[in-house]
A and B are shown apart, each in its own frame.
Chain A
């Protein structure tokens, strides 16, 4: 057996996982009190804010891409869907594992499924996430089945693809927006720069679509570098334009809400919240918006990549603002995650990246890579040449 060479990144990975495992031990042997900086005043911290809120959002590429390809028939993006589904699938697994860390009684994760309270947004989210993870597992299955030549099963999945995708898209619309609705009940606690009833769910949904597209671009570049193939700018640049449109809609909605609520003044108030809000807007909307609006930048790999990364960062900042910063003033406590909290989050991210890498190498995720991808064309991609030919004639 060949022992893998210890590169810099592998060393980082090992350190992160080792620290994460130690923190896992602290979390489960000594409890949340010993392993986190959570308190009665700050009951939700990094794990809910980043692992859950951002994790679900960053996985939104799965439903946006499948909707575009299978429902709107934009076949030119077909080759991006599998990577997007993989990211989404891994994202939801990470979210679930993070919940096992965060719940006081993780073994009761299933309780909402049997004793649900229909008035609770959290219950609705739990149901949607459970169903959607199942949908993602089925959507992802061909990537695993194809290399093993299980064509029959793939054909069955292919047959139900359209209703399956539709179901997944509806579930995603529901829970992506509902993560915002979670905060509707705290008008007195969430800072007015982020609290907007009843618009929070709309903003959460729009920003999820936006960041989903951004993630597809980012991961195309990363996997391209890792696997040694060039990013397909022919598909990614138009994706950048769609992202720009969603960005504009999001920005307009936000502006309209701020305007009508006369909270525009709060933005210029010079408080810590106002700076973070401005940073979020500049990093996540303004700068990437300007970059994407310039064809010169958008059509160029580096420009597109930069804009997409900025959108992702702005999104993460937004979710952290809603879940942590925006709630801090009223709680009267400054929360900063404990190193054990951070190390567990880092460990989950690292393992997610590793799994993505392994899947990209050994499963049929990328058309120009992996063992069997081009060999067994599913019905959808079989339609590509035909359709394109028809378009041209």
Chain B
């Protein structure tokens, strides 16, 4: 069973209650002027102007169904849990930051100023709370039901229902249903998602497949190349042996 969150841009009033709840639930104390994701700020509500209207859009880890961060980490520090959250084990991480490079949403952040034990930080969808059967802190705090927590399939159905019931309000697309293989976090909006600052150029399939299709071929390539090189060596070697001892011809 996999949980997720649905964020509806049309309902968000920009009160930042989710930010405060997130900071508190995760023991973060960011200065007030931090307006983007940071090691001590795991979600922000950005305000963007589209067609002269102010829109509030949350930014946080999307908890991808087949996450890039999980697939690229050389030491398996990231894990996609059965329940949905993508979590991080700081005891494995060696700080190569490939996860940050690979995430299509630029989500993971780093403790750059910690000289000895820096960690990667990002939203973990309140894993402990979800395990205990509670909603995430941000969803519980939202007064406008802009962020709601639930099973991913229910949220998907709800999102499509909202679009169907109100087609002139909504932009007819659920962001996160298919983007980069889909994510546990879903977005609804009344504007084009690219205009709201979400990446507009993501393929539909999971990104790790792009690496996978090459990785799967490697054993074949190695065996073929190895055999070819061996064969070449043997032929050349043999010809020279024959050339060196003419009587054996």
Contact = CB atoms under 8 A, between A and B. Distances in A.
Interface string B56-90: 00000000000010011111100000000000000
Contacts of A390: 240, 243-244
B215 to A, nearest CB: 7
B96 interface: yes
A96 to B, nearest CB: 13
Given A126-B74, A170-B222, A40 B100 contact: yes
Contacts, number: 175
Interface residues of B, number: 60
Contact of B98 (A70, A122, A173): A122
Interface in B108-158: 108-118
A187 B115 contact: no
B1 interface: no
Interface residues of A, number: 61
B195 interface: no
Contact of A31 (B74, B114, B213, B225): B114
Contacts of B73: 117, 120, 122
A121 B240 contact: no
Nearest to B104: A188
Given A39-B112, A188-B199, A391-B243, A108 B104 contact: no
A30 B112 CA distance: 9
Contacts of A108: 75, 93-95
A51 to B, nearest CB: 14
B208 A119 contact: yes
A30 B115 contact: yes
Q: Decide if the interface of chain A is mainly helix, strand, loop or mixed.
A: helix
Interface string A95-106: 000000011111
Contacts of B38: 40
A32 B116 CA distance: 10
Contact of B94 (A33, A44, A109, A331): A109
Nearest to B100: A43
What 7 A-B pairs come out closest when comparing CB atoms? Answer: A104-B95, A33-B112, A31-B115, A108-B94, A43-B100, A122-B74, A117-B76
16 contacts: A31-B118, A34-B115, A43-B100, A72-B232, A72-B236, A73-B233, A103-B94, A105-B95, A108-B95, A112-B74, A122-B98, A181-B215, A185-B210, A188-B199, A198-B210, A390-B244
